[in-house]
């Protein structure tokens, strides 16, 4: 693909427009992790004591998907998968009453992880008038608040990386919808006009090979940028044109996290076993295990059907078969990758791996949950219920890998914070409330929901909204 650039006058003042939109959104939860993916809600005062029998305003049953609630005014928007249908749903915030449902039946459902994934993994985004929903199997569709479809942009069903499906959510910056379409082949970052769905630009990302984090907006030294990581590289793009402005080499090899803004800096961190050659067996061992006809390559039909999706992501050159060349490409990529958390300072173009990276930190890094910047500190949680806190200016830890007793296991939901408290939800269904600050985490409350939690909670006013395997919950007054 060739990068398509469109000059559009409506974005000449996008900096001012996007900043004012973020201020207005502080009373809402307009996308994945709230305003600009920060995990924060200014002025919100959600309850501390939250559980299946504590602080419940209402709960409603609905089909499971890992996407998170999106909230504006008296509306809650979610996406879900009620096989074979994809759905956008709108609930009353006060009562949990279902206002409307819009159903889409795709011709082909993308591959997805049956326990942790879904064709409805992406959280909707809203500007207060429109609701933007993305499905990897269908494309982008936009409704007004009463459920009237305003436009749709069909996209080819995403070719998932391995067996994992899509994970990125759309964001809205000013009058632009930005979407990460990293996948097995034909990865790209694209921008659509919010009013019409017209393509503003699309920038190919052939090196990406699949990522699951959402893009972030950054006002970098006077330039409006979109920042996105994948496959050992973190990149910044011009919001107006999609042109790549800078790159940081040497991040984690498989990206599930989203960048966050910490004052004038951008924080990015993640972990994956994709940086280790041990994540994939040696070529000779793989060939011996699966090769049936004695040649020097393995074709998908030689792999048991239950393992084909898993191994698809190892086909590095995307030619539909496995050869020693794929192992060499992967080895070269792994040599560039590193599990770390970094602080990127403003300014700089081109390769800024040395010039604009203020510090690096390597311990206790998250796999899926994105970092949180709150009240002058960075927080992140990793599998095993281990939470860390760093100084954003120096990278020095306030505490590191402190265990959340009673809330072990995996973590997919990202931490969110308000009113001096941090909310952390585990895969096993434990919600832990931690006091912000201090030289170690102080647990204020903990509850067990008895079913899995993958979705990130939403904080609005005096309420917290939480999605579990079977229910959407509202807590507060």
Domains and CATH numbers, the chain: 4-272+339-476 (2.130.10.10), 278-332 (no CATH)
**How far is residue 387 from each of residues 400, 446, 459, 461, measured CA to CA in Å?**
7, 15, 21, 26
Distance of CA 398 to the CA centre of its chain: 26
**Residues 305-316 as b or e (16 or more Cβ within 10 Å = b):** eeeebebbbbbb
* Burial degree of 413 (CB within 10 A; 0-12, 13-18, 19+): buried
Phi-psi region of 96 (alpha: psi -120 to 50; beta: other; left: phi over 0): left
Phi-psi region of 67 (alpha: psi -120 to 50; beta: other; left: phi over 0): beta
CA distance 65 to 471: 10
What tokens appear for 205 in the block? 């990302």
Residue 84: cis peptide before it, omega within 30 degrees of 0: yes
Beta pairing class for 199-204 and 216-220 = unpaired
Sign of CA dihedral 248, 251, 253, 256: negative
DSSP state of 40: B
What tokens appear for 12 in the block? 């000449």
pLDDT at position 118, please? 81
CA distance 422 to 339: 24
CA distance 87 to 89: 6
| Each residue's pLDDT tens digit, 318-367 | 788 899 988 887 777 777 889 999 999 999 999 999 999 999 999 999 99
pLDDT at position 315, please? 79
**Closest-CA residue to 339 (of 392, 279, 391, 299):** 279
In the block, residue with structure tokens 């996105």: 228
* Burial degree of 92 (CB within 10 A; 0-12, 13-18, 19+): middle
Q: Which residues of the chain have pLDDT under 70?
A: 1-26, 112-115, 161-163, 274-279, 309
The DSSP line for 157-207 is PP--STT-------EEETTEEEEE---SSS-EEEEEETTT--EEEEEE-TT
Beta pairing class for 244-249 and 350-351 = parallel
pLDDT at position 115, please? 63
Q: Are 371 and 269 in contact (CB under 8 A)?
A: yes
The continuous run of DSSP H or E covering 326 comes out as: helix 324-336
Q: In what order do the strands lie in the sheet with 430-435?
A: 416-418, 421-425, 430-435, 442-448
At what angle are helices 324-336 and 283-290 packed, to 10 degrees? 140
Q: Are 443 and 405 in contact (CB under 8 A)?
A: yes
User: What are the residues whose beta carbons fall under 8 Å from the beta carbon of 138, sequence distance 6 or more?
Assistant: 86, 104, 106, 154, 155, 157
What tokens appear for 247 in the block? 């790159």
Backbone φ and ψ of 474, nearest 5°:
-125, 130
CA distance 170 to 312: 25
What tokens appear for 34 in the block? 């709230």
Q: What is the pTM of this model?
A: 0.89
**How far is residue 279 from each of residues 60, 214, 273, 330, measured CA to CA in Å?**
40, 24, 6, 11
User: What are the residues whose beta carbons fall under 8 Å from the beta carbon of 200, sequence distance 6 or more?
Assistant: 6, 8, 176, 191, 192, 193, 242
pLDDT at position 3, please? 44
């Amino acid at each position: 693909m060739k990068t398509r650039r469109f000059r559009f006058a409506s974005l000449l003042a996008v900096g001012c427009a996007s900043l004012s939109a973020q201020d207005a959104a502080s009373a809402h939860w307009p996308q994945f992790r709230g305003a600009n993916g920060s995990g924060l809600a200014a002025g919100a005062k959600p309850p501390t004591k939250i559980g299946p029998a504590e602080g419940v305003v209402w709960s409603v049953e609905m089909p499971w998907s890992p996407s998170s609630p999106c909230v504006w005014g008296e509306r809650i928007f979610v996406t879900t998968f009620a096989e074979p249908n994809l759905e956008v749903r709108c609930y009353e915030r006060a009562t949990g009453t279902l206002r409307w449902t819009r159903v889409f039946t795709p011709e082909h459902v993308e591959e997805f992880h049956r326990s942790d994934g879904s064709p409805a993994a992406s959280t909707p985004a809203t500007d207060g008038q429109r609701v933007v929903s993305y499905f990897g199997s269908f494309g982008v569709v936009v409704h007004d608040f009463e459920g009237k479809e305003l436009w749709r942009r069909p996209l080819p069903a995403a070719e998932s990386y391995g067996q994992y499906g899509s994970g990125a959510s759309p964001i809205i910056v000013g009058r632009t919808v930005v979407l990460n379409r990293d996948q097995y082949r034909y990865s790209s970052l694209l921008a659509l006009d919010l009013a019409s769905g017209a393509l503003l630009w699309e920038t190919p990302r052939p090196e990406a090979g699949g990522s699951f984090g959402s893009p972030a907006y950054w006002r970098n030294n006077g330039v409006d940028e979109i920042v996105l990581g994948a496959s050992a590289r973190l990149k910044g793009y011009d919001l107006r044109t999609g042109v790549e402005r800078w790159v940081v080499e040497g991040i984690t090899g498989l990206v599930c996290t989203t960048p966050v803004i910490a004052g004038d800096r951008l924080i990015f961190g993640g972990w994956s076993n994709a940086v280790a050659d041990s994540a994939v067996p040696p070529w000779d061992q793989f060939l011996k295990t699966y090769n049936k006809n004695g040649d020097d390559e393995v074709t998908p039909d030689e792999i048991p059907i239950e393992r084909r999706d898993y191994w698809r992501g190892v086909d590095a050159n995307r030619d539909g078969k496995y050869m020693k060349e794929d192992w060499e490409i992967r080895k070269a990529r792994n040599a560039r990758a590193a599990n770390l958390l970094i602080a990127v300072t403003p300014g700089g173009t081109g390769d800024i791996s040395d010039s604009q990276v203020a510090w690096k930190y390597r311990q206790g890094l998250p796999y899926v949950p994105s970092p949180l910047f709150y009240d002058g500190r960075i927080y992140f949680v990793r599998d095993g219920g281990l939470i860390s806190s760093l100084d954003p200016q120096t990278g020095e830890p306030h505490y590191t890998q402190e265990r959340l007793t009673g809330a072990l296991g995996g973590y997919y939901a990202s931490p969110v914070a308000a009113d001096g408290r941090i909310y952390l939800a585990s895969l096993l269904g434990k919600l832990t409330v931690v006091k912000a600050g201090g030289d170690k985490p102080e647990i204020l409350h903990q509850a067990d929901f008895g079913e899995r939690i993958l979705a990130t909670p939403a904080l609005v006013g005096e309420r917290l909204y939480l999605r579990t395997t079977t229910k959407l919950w509202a807590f507060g007054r």
